[in-house]
Amino acid sequence: MLPVAGKPLILHTLEQAGKARTVSRVIVATDDERIRRVVEEAGGEAVLTSSDHRSGSDRIAEVARELPENSIIVNVQGDEPLISPATIDSAVEALLEDASADISTTCEAIADHADVLNPDIVKVVCDEQGFALYFSRSPVPYPRDAVREFGDLETALRRGPGLAGRYRKHTGLYVFRREYLLKFTEMGQTVLEKTEMLEQLRALENGARIKVIETLESSIGVDTAEDLERVRKQLETPAEIYG
């Protein structure tokens, strides 16, 4: 609800999602009457959901139950005002093109070694076909030989040529087949999910195939005051015109 470039942040996210060519309908699922009112006054669609949901997946599943069978559901976090429409399209197309995939999601390369060590940044490891093997708050994979050479993990990441760039940051966009989403939200929490506090591990532990698409356009999830200022700087700074 905080203002960015003259309007609430949620409306920026809504507009970006609506620009994706694969998206036919954008719905804001919220348990907050204030958010619903702001979205509808701006001409958007919002659904007021239960306040008892444990996760965003549970919240969108409540809305998805009322959508047509075989729908494709894109879960975009409301705090992603810079989400690229092209990223959404890539993730949707990845799911549509692979009948074996239950979910698709996105990742981006990590450039800063500090991000590899940051537990708030989730890392993803994939197989040769681009399906997720594991998600973790820890640095995975562990570079054993580099740590032996440099003495510790932080030094290895800082000094090892291109080492930090081998890691991938998982970003918060998910695309579900409607029927799998409903099935997923009926599953009980799993050991790995509760250990890492990452709900996508529940899907992996139950045999889901999660296709991971690497994006070239990064976004900023607004989780802190610092994130908000970064977004404001990008959206409120006039573009320079050359000519």
Model pLDDT, residue 234: 81
Do the Cβ atoms of 117 and 153 come closer than 8 Å? yes
Burial class (CB in 10 A: 0-12, 13-18, 19+), 52: exposed
* Structure-token pair, residue 154: 């932080």
In terms of Cα–Cα distance, which of 129, 123, 131, 161 is closest to 145? 161
What pLDDT, on a 0 to 100 scale, did the predictor assign at position 112? 87
pLDDT at residue 240, rounded to an integer? 46
Confidence at residue 11, expressed as pLDDT on a 0 to 100 scale: 93
pLDDT at 47: 95
Tokens for 219? 């976004």
Phi-psi region of 118 (alpha: psi -120 to 50; beta: other; left: phi over 0): beta
- What are the pLDDT tens digits along the chain (243 aa)? 888 888 888 999 999 999 999 999 999 999 999 999 999 999 999 999 999 988 889 999 999 999 999 999 999 988 888 889 999 999 999 999 999 999 999 999 988 899 999 998 899 999 999 999 999 999 999 999 999 999 999 999 999 888 988 999 998 799 999 999 999 999 999 999 999 999 999 999 999 999 999 987 777 777 778 877 887 888 877 554 444
pLDDT on residue 233: 82
Sorted by sequence, the CB contacts under 8 Å of residue 148 that are 6+ apart come out as: none
3-state secondary structure of 157: helix
DSSP codes joined into one string, 8-74: EHHHHHHHHHHT-TT-S--EEEES-HHHHHHHHHTT-EEEE--S--SSHHHHHHHHHTTSPTT-EEE
**Amino acid 242: pLDDT:** 40
Give the domain 3-229 fold. Spore Coat Polysaccharide Biosynthesis Protein SpsA; Chain A (3.90.550)
Give the containing element (helix H, strand E) for 175.
strand 168-177
Q: What is the pLDDT of residue 238?
A: 59
The verdict on pTM exceeding 0.85 is yes
pLDDT at 243: 43
